[in-house]
């Protein structure tokens, strides 16, 4: 039995060192660092503005307390004294218009400089951005298809990037809108139906970063995570090579039985395993499933128990997701799991 666990619980269990944070201030990439710096600046400015405001509010409230009464005569006098008083108007124009205008102009310029550093690598609507990008991420309800077009790699819910390099990523969607967000590396970019958006992704420090979908995309929007692994260029090259290779042929009897069950149960209708006849497209490519850190878009850690739990009842952990419950015997389940675990 698997405990009903959700998105990120698993991260603590992962073998690799994984930061258990999504904080935008724990930035590890240039774009995110710029946003974080701006964010701190804005917070400081806002606090100052608020304190000034608070002073102007609290002081008279305190000083003038108890001086008022609801008589008409006092008010009538005030109309005569204070009606459109030029000093008041000048003060308001200064404190309410001129000073805020300065502050707003300053933060606008600051932000705009940062924004231009975060520009898209390809022109808006560049028709072949998807071919020329280093990696392509395609959103599905509720998982991420990941392709490295030039390296012949197809995987899901996990990106690898060489540390310290700027990687160009093209984003598109198969169904509804989603949004690609790795808080520690960069701000969001939406995956908009019928459109290809592109971003730079850059990690300064090796490590695993957590990403999530940030545009409401249906009932399982809460469970549409992914991981970004930033590693040394050599490790990255290794990873690409492994992912490029077709699945290792099944040799052990249990694995072979699992492969047969995978076919007979209909899994292959939705899932592809390269190097075999399984060519389903509706679900994630499983060729190297065992190499992935998480299952079902960051919903479960990729352990044997969780994998078995997922295959036996995917609707339990992620109610409403697009993988149906496939009825199968205990032995079939064991076999299928063994097969899936062999897909390194």
Partner 1 sequence: MATRVEPTPAPAGAARPTDPREAVERLRWIWETPRTLAGALTTVDHKTIGIRYLWTAAFFFVLAGADAALMRVQLAHADSRFLSPEAYDQLFSMHGTAMIFLYASPVLSGFSNYLVPLLIGSRDMAFPRLNAFSYWSFLFAGCFLYGSILVGQAPDGGWFAYVPLTTRAYSPGPNLDFYALGLLFLTISTTVGAANFIVSIAKLRAPGMSINRMPIYVWSTLSASVAMVFALPSLTVALVFLELDRRYATHFFDPQGGGSALLWQHLFWVFGHPWVYVVVLPAFGIVSTIIPTFCRRPLAAYTLVALASVSVAIFGFGVWAHHMFTTGMSAMATSFFSAASMTVSLPSGIATASWLTTIWFGKPVYKTPFLYCIGFLLLFVIGGLSGVMTGLVAFDRQVTDTYFVVAHLHYVLVGANVFPVLAGVHYWFPKFTGKMMHEGLGKLSFWVLFVGANVLFWPMHHLGLAGMPRRVYTYAPGMGLDAGNFWSTIGAAIFSVGFLIFVANVVRSLAGGEPAGDNPWGASTLEWSVSSPPPAYNFARIPTVRGREPLWEQGADEIAALDSGARGATLLEGRETLGTTVMDAADEGIMHMPGDSPWPLALAAALALLFWGLMLRGFWPSLLGVVATVFALGAWFWPAGHHGPGVPPRRGGAGREPAYGGGAA
Binding residues (CB under 6 A) for ligand HEA: these are: 49, 53, 100, 103-104
Query: Helix, strand, or coil here: 128?
Result: coil
Which of 194, 156, 199 shows the shortest CA–CA distance to 31?
Answer: 199
Of 77 and 242, CB closest to ligand HEC: 242
User: Contact, 223 vs 297, CB < 8 A?
Assistant: yes
List beta partners, residue 186: 182
- Partner in contact with 104, chosen from ligand HEC, ligand HEA, ligand CUA, none, beta carbon below 5 to 8 Å by kind: ligand HEA
Spatial separation of the C-alpha atoms in residues 99 and 77, rounded to whole Å: 32
Of 32 and 317, CB closest to ligand HEC: 317
Distance of CA 137 to the CA centre of its chain: 12
One of 166, 221, 244, 322 touching ligand CUA (CB under 6 A): 221
Spatial separation of the C-alpha atoms in residues 121 and 138, rounded to whole Å: 17
- Partner in contact with 297, chosen from ligand HEC, ligand HEA, partner 1, none, beta carbon below 5 to 8 Å by kind: ligand HEC
List beta partners, residue 225: 212
Of 75 and 99, CB closest to ligand HEA: 99
- Partner in contact with 323, chosen from ligand CUA, ligand HEC, partner 1, none, beta carbon below 5 to 8 Å by kind: ligand HEC
- Token code pair at residue 273: 């395993």
Of 32 and 156, CB closest to ligand HEA: 32
Residues at the interface with ligand HEC (CB under 6 A): 142-143, 156-157, 220, 265-267, 269-271, 282-284, 286, 289, 292, 295-297, 310-311, 318, 321-324, 326, 336, 340
Q: Cα torsion for 202, 208, 210, 211, to the nearest 10°?
A: 40
Question: CB-hemisphere CA count at 13 Å for 185?
Answer: 32
List binders of ligand CUA among 65-104 (CB under 6 A): none
- Partner in contact with 21, chosen from partner 1, ligand HEA, ligand HEC, none, beta carbon below 5 to 8 Å by kind: partner 1
The β-bridge relationship of strands 143-148 and 225-231 is unpaired
Binding mask 160-179 for ligand CUA (x = CB under 6 A): ------------------x-
Q: Is 217 in the site for ligand CUA (CB under 6 A)?
A: yes
Stretch in the footprint of ligand CUA (CB under 6 A) among 3-11, 216-224, 229-237, 301-309 = 216-224
DSSP 264-296: HTTGGGT-B-TTSS-B--SS---TTGGG-SEET
Stretch in the footprint of ligand CUA (CB under 6 A) among 43-51, 214-222, 225-233, 251-259 = 214-222
The β-bridge relationship of strands 178-182 and 186-191 is antiparallel
For CA atoms 24, 26, 32, 37, give the dihedral sign. Answer: positive
- Partner in contact with 290, chosen from partner 1, ligand HEA, ligand HEC, none, beta carbon below 5 to 8 Å by kind: none
List beta partners, residue 279: 272
DSSP state of 10: G
Distance of closest approach, residue 241 Cβ to ligand HEC, in angstroms:
20
Of 65 and 234, CB closest to partner 1: 65
Q: Is 196 in the site for ligand CUA (CB under 6 A)?
A: no
Spatial separation of the C-alpha atoms in residues 292 and 54, rounded to whole Å: 52
One of 169, 224, 296, 323 touching ligand CUA (CB under 6 A): 224
Chain residues binding ligand CUA by CB under 6 A are 139, 142, 178, 213, 215-217, 221, 224
């Amino acid at each position: 039995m698997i405990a009903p666990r959700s998105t990120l619980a698993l991260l603590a269990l992962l073998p690799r060192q994984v930061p258990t944070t999504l904080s935008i201030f724990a930035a590890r990439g240039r774009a995110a660092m710029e946003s974080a710096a701006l964010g701190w600046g804005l917070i400081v400015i806002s606090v100052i503005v608020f304190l000034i405001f608070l002073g102007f509010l609290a002081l008279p409230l305190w000083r003038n307390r108890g001086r008022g009464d609801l008589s008409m005569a006092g008010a009538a006098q005030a109309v005569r004294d204070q009606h459109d008083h030029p000093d008041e108007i000048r003060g308001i124009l200064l404190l309410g218009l001129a000073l805020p205008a300065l502050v707003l102009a300053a933060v606008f310029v600051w932000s705009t400089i940062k924004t231009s550093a975060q520009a898209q690598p390809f022109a808006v609507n560049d028709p072949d951005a998807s071919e020329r990008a280093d990696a392509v991420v395609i959103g599905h309800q509720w998982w991420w298809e990941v392709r490295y077009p030039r390296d012949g790699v197809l995987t899901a819910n996990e990106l690898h990037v060489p540390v310290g390099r700027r990687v160009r990523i093209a984003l598109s969607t198969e169904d509804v809108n989603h949004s690609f967000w790795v808080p520690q590396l960069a701000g969001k970019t939406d995956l908009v139906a019928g459109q290809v958006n592109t971003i730079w992704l850059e990690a300064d420090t090796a490590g695993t970063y957590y990403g999530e979908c940030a545009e409401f995309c249906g009932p399982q929007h809460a469970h549409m995570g992914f991981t970004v692994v930033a590693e040394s260029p050599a490790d990255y090259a290794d990873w690409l090579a492994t992912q490029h290779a077709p699945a290792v042929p099944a040799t052990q009897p249990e694995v072979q039985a699992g492969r047969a069950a995978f076919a007979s149960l209909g899994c292959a209708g939705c899932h592809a395993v390269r190097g075999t006849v399984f060519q389903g497209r509706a679900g994630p490519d499983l060729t190297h499933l065992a190499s992935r850190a998480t299952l079902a878009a960051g919903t479960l850690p990729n352990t044997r128990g969780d994998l078995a739990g997922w295959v036996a009842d995917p609707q339990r952990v992620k109610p409403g997701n697009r993988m149906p419950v496939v009825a199968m015997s205990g032995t079939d389940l064991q076999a299928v799991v063994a097969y899936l675990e062999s897909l390194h």
